[in-house]
Structure 1
Amino acid sequence: MADLARKRNEELARILHQLGWSPERLAREVNAALPAALAISSTAPYKWRDRGMVPRAPHDQTVCEVLSRTVGIAVTYEQLWGQMGSNRGAKILSPRLLTDPWTADTAQTALREAGADAAPVRLTDLFRGDELEQAARHWASPAPEVTGGEGALRIAREQLADLRLSYDSKQRLERTYGGGLILDLAKAELAMVGKLLELGAYDETLGRELYGAASRLARLVGWANYDMGNDAAAQRAFVAALRAAHVSGDPRLGVSVVGCLAVQATHNSGGRGLDAVAMLSTALRAAEEVLTPRERALQLGRIARAHGKKGEQISAEAVAERAFLALEGESGHGQEWADLEGMVGEGYLFLGDHERAQHLLAGAVAALSPERARAKALLMVRLADSYQRTGEHQEAERIADEARRLAAGMQSARVARALRDFDAAARATVG
């Protein structure tokens, strides 16, 4: 520990008093959360509280996590130790997740938070739209210097290849069985990559690629959280992914993360006041030259759907046409074409154009492979909803039953919520 300032830590003292905990109780709780080899003495918290001493990693972060779980709201590193003057150890990112400098160090901190098993993030912790839009602009600015890379763990390209294989396998599982199946695994792997960034030895080129791998994993953690209905936690993981993408210097990664934020904002309350169309359109224009046809079509499909949600039919149709043109003539993109049909079909469903919605949604459902079971189940519920609204109740119920069978055992709160909403609407129609 570093005895940096012999002054009382008033914030730690306040929280312990609020909980009715003695320093010995804090020591027991910290030891219960860590392996036996990392146990601290019962007197260590007295030094933290009364003498202003700051514990080294991992004890600094563990204290934040233990207190967060017990208090019920996040207790951050900045709040607990920031005034003590230490920059040591793993931190829980400060509340300025969106406004802290966009450096490699703060990217590491954001990634560490996204991979940690911290206290649950509440829905009221959602960022405002203008805050997210400001953060979304940073991916296009020049990449910062890669700091670190002087640790004892030698990182080689073989490790990067292993990380990519692991990411691909988890993404396939998530698409088939839902985010709940892989969320904890993805968070654990993200925490591991954070350790490699912190303790690894790598040059600038390898370091940027490692940040790219971390960005993909953080994006997957965010998407799994979103699929499980954890909107605020999803946002924080997406912002961590955006920060890591910025350090990686790959604008394609940044656009993909902005696209995830736009999807979240289109379908629910993710991003209070966020204009998904404006944010994603800006990102797409900035990276137009580097995106593949598949990537361009995906983001255009998301924009078209968002236009539909806003009731902007002319804009939705124009962007949808651009999206389909992006894939036209491209071979081997059958699943991407089905994805695009599904997104545009949802846009027409929002607009109340059921004839076109049903045509596109049915095409997407028929073309999606078994590995895309989660997306297929969702689109089946959308299709059943469209038939329900046009009075074709038997067809609607038939398709909904198929969706239920496909979704049996699936760990996706989005699918479960869509089915509940359909059932409630069906009951209201009968009533």
Structure 2
Amino acid sequence: MADLARKRNDELARILHQLGWSPERLAREVNAVLPPGMAISSTAPYKWRDRGMVPRSPHDQTVCEVLGRCVGIAVTYEQLWGQMGSNRGAKMLSPRLLTDPWTADTAQTALREAGADGAPVRLTDLFRGDELEQAARHWASPPPPVTGGEGALRIAPEQLADLRLSYDSKQRLERAYGGGLILDLAKAELAMVGKLLELGSYDEPLGRELYGAASRLARLVGWANYDMGNDAAAQRAFVAALRAAHVSGDPRLGVGVVGCLAVQATYNSGGRGLDPVAMLSTALRAADDVLTPRERALQLGRIARAHGRKGEQISAEAVAERAFRVLEGLDGHDQERADLEGMIGEGFLLLGEHEQARGLLQRAIEALTAERARVKALLMVRLADSYRRTGERAEAEDIADRARRLAAGMQSARVARALRDFDSAMRAEA
């Protein structure tokens, strides 16, 4: 165990107080789920709470899981331990993850790292914006040869079909219940696909499809990490997804990954100095002729929201209008239209345009189904915050309570953090 800054862990103290637990009770609950021989002492949680000490792996993550299960909402590593200034328990990003040649072999290396069951990655390991922009330009270059494919495991189209079904089911679970529910499963499946790429027997067309499946899984791992507040680990997975998309030769996959990086940079510390508008706009221009209307509208919505974050109202409105035109007159896109309304509503909220934001957010919330419960809960908190900011506290509290009920048990640090921030702002204004 590392004795760090010897400062009190206020977040751990707050959660223990909320649960009515003593440090000894926390020790008992943690020991109940640990394998034999890994038990902690009954006094260890005192050191975590009062002296800022951080437990080593796997105890650090186990504490998060135990507390999250009992609180009923995700408790993340960054939330609990990230402010303690840890210099241990964190896996360093490969310094060559962005700069190594963009080949099939280095894509496999990146995929293995993204699927590894390593310790959490520190926020200080985030890439710089210029590094990410340079990497994001690679996906549009001609794909490299598919090397390998001469292993003993024969890969058939049926295995690819199974991987697609598995990805679709995990994505549905993530959208409904949060990234924490599927993160470990998705990482394990990504590691398995990495083994198939390494040990499998496949020709070039099948190999490119296999890299495409790996890219989708790595993107899902990245998104689940982002949803759980693990920004640096999310970046690592997104870069792996970008490399695999490049080998697959499918530019639509590359644009989707760049879009995820843009979302992260819009709302979080991911990509220090990264301009999400410029990066995603460049990607969209490079692949606009191959994108489906749904894909094009999604990325335009992300660009409009990023303009809102930058305070660029005229640009936000212009891009939003383009995005809605893309879906105009198309049947069977109700959820995509609701997604778009939610993103544009968030953009107007960032601009302080509450009337426009509320109309869009309310329509999105009404249209989103139970399968999209995570984003629905998040948009409800955004709507509640709009009413709070204009002094309509009763309406704000009512909407936040509805969001809280919807999010009960949800494994999403983004939703949990949004609710905590809302509650803190309400208390500060009381």
TM-score of the two chains, using structure 2 as the length reference: 0.79
Letter in 2 for 1:387: Y
- CA deviation digits over 1:188-207, x for unaligned, max 9? 00000000000000000000
- CA deviation digits over 1:364-387, x for unaligned, max 9? 000000000000000000000001
Rounded to whole Å, the distance in 2 between the matches of 1:292 and 1:101 is 30
Q: CA deviation at 1:94?
A: 3.7
Give the match for residue 293 of structure 1.
293
Rounded to whole Å, the distance in 1 between the matches of 2:87 and 2:384 is 44
Q: Return structure 1 stretches of 4+ with deviation > 2 angstroms.
A: 69-75
Q: How many equivalent pairs are there?
A: 346
Give the match for residue 131 of structure 1.
131
- CA deviation digits over 1:276-311, x for unaligned, max 9? 000000000000100000000000000000000000
Q: CA deviation at 1:118?
A: 1.4
Rounded to whole Å, the distance in 2 between the matches of 1:368 and 1:70 is 42
Rounded to whole Å, the distance in 1 between the matches of 2:428 and 2:360 is 27
Letter in 2 for 1:114: A
Letter in 2 for 1:187: K
Give the match for residue 120 of structure 2.
120
Correspondence 1:411 to 2:411: yes
Rounded to whole Å, the distance in 2 between the matches of 1:133 and 1:321 is 26
Give the match for residue 19 of structure 1.
none
- CA deviation digits over 1:234-256, x for unaligned, max 9? 00000000000000000000000
Q: Which one of the candidate residues 72, 94, 100 is aligned to 2:89? A: 72
Where in structure 2 are the equivalents of 1:242-321 lying within 5 Å?
242-321=242-321
Rounded to whole Å, the distance in 2 between the matches of 1:331 and 1:242 is 31
- CA deviation digits over 1:127-152, x for unaligned, max 9? 00000000000000000000000000
Give the match for residue 393 of structure 1.
393
Letter in 2 for 1:222: G
Q: Percent identity?
A: 86
Give the match for residue 169 of structure 1.
169
Q: In structure 2, the residue corresponding to 1:99 is in which secondary structure?
A: coil
8 Å Cα contact 2:91-2:122 kept in structure 1 = no
Where in structure 2 are the equivalents of 1:222-233 lying within 5 Å?
222-233=222-233
Rounded to whole Å, the distance in 2 between the matches of 1:416 and 1:183 is 17
Q: CA deviation at 1:72?
A: 3.4
Letter in 1 for 2:272: R
Give the number of the structure whose alpha-carbon radius of gyration is greater: 1
Q: CA deviation at 1:120?
A: 1.6
Rounded to whole Å, the distance in 1 between the matches of 2:302 and 2:391 is 28
More off after superposition, 213-222 vs 384-393: 384-393
Q: CA deviation at 1:392?
A: 1.2
Rounded to whole Å, the distance in 1 between the matches of 2:275 and 2:88 is 34
Q: In structure 1, the residue corresponding to 2:329 is in which secondary structure?
A: coil
Letter in 2 for 1:307: H
Q: CA deviation at 1:71?
A: 5.8
With over 3 angstroms needed to count, the CA separation of the structure-2 counterparts of 1:136 and 1:389, relative to structure 1, is same
Give the match for residue 40 of structure 1.
none
Give the match for residue 329 of structure 1.
329
Give the match for residue 178 of structure 1.
178
Q: CA deviation at 1:428?
A: 1.3
With over 3 angstroms needed to count, the CA separation of the structure-2 counterparts of 1:389 and 1:172, relative to structure 1, is same
Q: CA deviation at 1:73?
A: 4.4
RMSD: 1.4
With over 3 angstroms needed to count, the CA separation of the structure-2 counterparts of 1:248 and 1:130, relative to structure 1, is same
Give the match for residue 144 of structure 2.
144
- CA deviation digits over 1:135-173, x for unaligned, max 9? 000000000000000000000000000000000000000
With over 3 angstroms needed to count, the CA separation of the structure-2 counterparts of 1:429 and 1:94, relative to structure 1, is closer
Letter in 1 for 2:127: F
